[in-house]
Structure 1
Amino acid sequence: SARPLSSKALSVAKKKREMRENLEESAMELLIHFNNRNLDALLRATRYTLESLRKRITS
Structure 2
Amino acid sequence: MELGAHGRIFKSLGTHVKAFRLLIQVFAVADARSRKRHRAGGCGHAWHQLGKERLAE
TM-score where L is the length of structure 1: 0.59
Deviation, 1:4, is 1.9
Structure 1 residues without counterparts, runs of 5 or longer: 45-59
Paired residue for 1:20? 18
Structure with greater helix share of residues: 1
TM-score where L is the length of structure 2: 0.61
| Runs of 4 or more consecutive aligned structure 1 residues displaced over 6 Å after TM superposition | none
Paired residue for 1:7? 5
CA root-mean-square deviation: 1.3
Structure 2 residues without counterparts, runs of 5 or longer: 42-57
Aligned counterpart for 2:36 among listed residues 35, 38, 46: 38
Whose radius of gyration is greater, 1 or 2?
Answer: 1
Q: What is the percentage of aligned positions where both structures have the same residue?
A: 8
